[in-house]
Amino acid sequence: LVGSALCQTQVVPADWYYPKQDAATFSLGFALSCLVVSCPCALGLATPTAVMVGTGVAAKLGILIKGGEVLEAAAQATAIVFDKTGTLTEGKPRIQQWCQYSSEIKKEQLVWLLASLERHSEHPLGQAVVDYYQGSVEELATPREFVAKTGRGASALIDHYGRVAMGNRAYLRDEFGIVLNEQIHHQMTVLEDQGQTAILAAVDNEIVAVVGIADQIKTDAAATIRL
């Protein structure tokens, strides 16, 4: 107020102003300069305090921020990329569609066979196959020579059925020389266009089924994105 009064009464010469600066702006800058000189500690604590409060509020909302620099950079963000599994989805994939191509094996028998293959798998998609099986886990067969390829698939020997395998196109092609026909390729494309993971199942190097697996969207996923 004192600075403004001095400017208004022209005690402070107008030629002290910066170009296009009026008396109010000059007096405000003068007051802030005095504040910085007289109270540097208070201003120095203001920024880390604001960052601490901001990150604390975000943590209560389930948003973890690494630090002040990240929080500051977030103001410039124009897009957000989510790791959807367990964030926007429940993190528990389930079989959504079952497309069988073998008439020699009944569906219940094939589900048992594939669940037997995946019974010891630690992959979420493998667990989805086991969960799809309606019977007791103790009733499943014990696979032999189980081999899992990260991000590709798994196979094992099961008594009376030979080599049973589940995986993606590349896995069955590279490991077993299986080439998809147009019908199966089209079915996989349809499932993938629906946002599902299309998994091939083969018994003795013959495709017997295509399984569509997807994770359920959380009920509050839309609210999370809007936030």
Residues identified as active-site: 83
Structure tokens at 172: 């069955």
